[in-house]
Amino acid sequence: MLVWSAVAVVGAVCWSVLALSRGESVSALWILFAALSSYAIGYRFYSRFIARRVLQVDDHRATPAERLENGRDFEVTDRRVLFGHHFAAIAGAGPLVGPVLAAQMGYLPGTVWIIVGVLLAGAVQDMVVLFFSMRRNGQSLGQMIRAEIGVVGGIAALIAVFAIMILILAVLALIVVNALAESPWGVFSIALTIPIALFMGVYLRVLRPGRVLEASLIGVVLLLAAIIGGGMVDGTPLGDALTLDKTTLVLALVVYGFVASVLPVWLLLTPRDYLSTFMKIGVIVLLAVSLVIAMPVLRNDAVSSFALAGNGPVFAGSLFPFVFITIACGALSGFHALISSGTTPKMLAKESQVRVIGYGGMLMESFVAISALIAACVLDPALYFSINAPAGATGATVEGASTFVANLGFSISPAELQAAADTIEEATLVSRTGGAPTLAYGISEIFETAFGGGLQAFWYHFAIMFEALFILTAVDAGTRVGRFMLQDTVGNVWKKFGDLTWWPASWIASAVVVGAWGGILYIGVTDPLGGINQLFPLFGIANQLLAAIALTLCTVLLVKHGKLRHAWVTGVPLVWVLVVTMTASFQKVFSADPAVGYFAQRARYADALDRGEVLAPAVDASAMQQVVTNSTVNGVLQSVFALLTLVVVANGVLVVVRAVRAGGLPTTEAPAEPSRIVEPAGLFPTAEERALLAAERDRLDREKAGSSR
């Protein structure tokens, strides 16, 4: 109890400093420790309450992994190993990019949302979905919605999941394109990851089957060599050949995405995934350590003027609802519901482990988001806005950027901007939108302060590589998941198409999926208004809408199980995310402000086009036409996502009303069977669990001795 009181005091002090400091220099460590102490308290008390009182996990009940063990998808897995698997599956580029963009609003709104959001919404969603899927033999989110809410909701959810996934892939790819455009160093090292992964694939299949650690070690060494080698290509003919513009990179990514999705997984996807997982863990640990050593100071305001006025250059819209949209992953991410109802529930050894895997895994992702937020907030705001303002605003020149940020009230000279780009050996940093260059620059500064050695250019490209690597892994894997979904859906009507080994079907399905995200990617890359500021809000809203769908399912299930008294646990986050997403959707569709509303933007440009005028930042009539088309596409997508979600929610409300009247309804939960295995609940076994484990070992030894006699 003494320990927990101490943790609470530390947390309270950190929060007070963050909330009360104004106009003085605030150390980033206050954010770090506010986060860590809040996570500790949330995990210890709230997640235990959810596990014991709300879900009533029962370790005497066998999990699907124990009942249906088949050595393939159903398999009792060590909780620490499963934690690693689950974390590697949920954590991607999302928690790195969202907080960086949200830093436009200041450090406080992002910090509060990431921490409060994860404790009360994000981690709760992951844990509860994991629990319900586990009780249903690992059914997917779509299957559970169809079975527990209804066919209409199920179909709407299926379409929403597919559409949202396409959008997410497009936005992730857009981040990579923006980070690699006109950067021969970046292109060189990222391109080399493909032959490195292929080599590892052949190594593991042919040369030394199964020696994953060996192959990964070789891979990581080659990867570092590729980053160092990249520093030498600039200025050479090879460097010139690798200086690619955005449209060329789009084409390259689309071709790559298609090939990666039809190649055997052992050749490219699996080895790349090993690399990206090791890099992910390595960088996160390195970042946490270097933050403590470097102790950087937050350079931006606690709450910036853009937060209230809603006229920020990175993305338009005011604090409410747009901070909660921009930071999705790290606080609340609907996509995790797909992972929590995927392979993880089929591998749990004990019911009580949903707490450490579901809630704990999400806390870890939230910590990544906090680190990313810090990396963006320790940058000089003038530099931050020069990097993140769209090219239409800065003219993509250092002079233009310097003037532009001066109008925002910040000061940086063209020479200083050029010097910043020179330290990381990039041609320019102006309007390198998408979040990745900002984060990489922030990380390189922190690492340089912590470790020294004049390696900032290396660290920058190391960070770019790290982000690009797992974005590309997500693009490969996402394209394959999309392909499987498409083949499965079409397979209901045309059986042959559902055969995953029939190549015409897999090629066609892959081409459709790649074409869909490639198309949106192209729209984003060529958008005269800047792609990220147009598409990222759409991405964030889509992810949160998926969370609304998942939380609807959780709430419906709590009520159906007769736990109306505790339905607020997922009901309150559901209401919150609905308010946020519906406000945001409404503004994006109906706002009269052309910077916020897609259709207002469309009307503004369409009217000007009719009058024969050209509005900045468009430069000619065809760019004007492009803005009109893009705003229409974005507005329609936005409306469709919101409507699909409302269909699921409405269907859910009907079921809740029926269930409340009846005092509960039958569900598709698998019947209980007694468990025969003993496993600890948390990462570290308690004294009580140790005694149980020892007794179990004795029993097994006796059995063995008995049977061999």
Which residues contact other proteins by CB under 8 A? Answer: 72-73, 78, 80-81, 84-85, 88-94, 168, 172, 204-205, 209-213, 216, 264-266, 269-270, 273-274, 277, 329, 333, 335-336, 338-339, 342-343, 470, 473-474, 476-478, 480-481, 484, 500, 543
Q: Please identify, using beta-carbon distances, which residue of 386 and 543 lies nearer to other proteins.
A: 543
Q: Which is nearer to other proteins, 134 or 378 (CB)?
A: 134
Closer to other proteins by CB, 121 or 417: give it. 121
Q: Which is nearer to other proteins, 286 or 329 (CB)?
A: 329
Phi, psi of 674 (to 5 degrees): -70, 145
Long-range residue pairs from 419-428, CB within 8 A, at least 24 positions apart, any chain: 420/383, 423/456, 423/457, 424/456, 424/457, 424/460, 424/461, 425/185, 425/231, 425/234, 425/457, 425/460, 426/183, 426/185, 426/460, 427/182, 427/183, 428/182, 428/396, 428/398
Measured from the CB atom, the residue of 17 and 212 that comes closer to other proteins is: 212
Phi, psi of 469 (to 5 degrees): -60, -50
Nearer to other proteins, 531 or 597 (CB): 531
Measured from the Cβ of residue 678, the count of other Cβ atoms closer than 10 Å reads: 17
> Is 570 strand, coil or helix?
helix
Residue with the two structure tokens 């100071």: 297
Residue 365 or 448 having the CB closest to other proteins: 365
Tokens 């949330």 map to which residue?
A: 42
CB of 94 to other proteins, least distance (A): 4
Q: How far apart are CB 500 and other proteins at their closest, in Å?
A: 6
Integer Rg of the chain from CA: 25
Distances (CA, A) of 625 to 505, 527, 594, 604, 609: 36, 11, 16, 11, 8
Write down the least CB distance from residue 224 to other proteins, Å.
Answer: 18
Question: Distance between alpha carbon 528 and the CA centroid of its chain, in Å?
Answer: 26
Query: Which residues make Cβ contacts (< 8 Å) with residue 683, sequence separation at least 6?
Result: 79, 80, 83, 356, 360
DSSP per-residue string spanning 544-555: HHHHHHHHHHHH
Minimum gap (Å) between residue 522 Cβ and other proteins: 20
Helices 381-388 and 436-451, axial angle in degrees (round to 10): 150
Minimal distance, residue 473 CB to other proteins, in Å: 6
H/E stretch holding 298: strand 297-298
Closest separation in Å from C-beta 92 to other proteins: 5
Q: Quote the least distance from Cβ 542 to other proteins, whole Å.
A: 10
Smallest distance from other proteins to CB 679, Å: 14
DSSP at 61: B
Which one, of 336, 327, 335, 365, lies nearest residue 126 by Cα? 336
| Cα atoms found within 13 Å of the Cα of residue 499, Cβ hemisphere only | 8
Closest CB to other proteins among 158 and 298?
A: 158
In terms of Cβ atoms closer than 10 Å to its own Cβ (0-12, 13-18, 19+), residue 393 is buried
Distance between CA atoms of residues 153 and 149, nearest Å? 6
Shortest distance in whole angstroms from residue 330 CB to other proteins: 11
Structure token pair of residue 386:
């020069």
Would you say 125 or 394 has its CB closer to other proteins? 125
DSSP 25: -
Least spacing, CB of residue 252 vs other proteins, in Å: 20
Provide the strand spans (E) within 403-557. none
Q: In this complex, which beta carbon is closest to other proteins, that of residue 266 or of residue 494?
A: 266
DSSP 92: S
The residue among 666 and 706 lying less far from other proteins, judged by its C-beta, is: 706
DSSP assigned state of 672? P
Cβ at position 674, least distance to other proteins in Å: 24
Q: Which is nearer to other proteins, 32 or 172 (CB)?
A: 172
Q: Shortest distance, CB of residue 476 to other proteins, whole angstroms?
A: 8
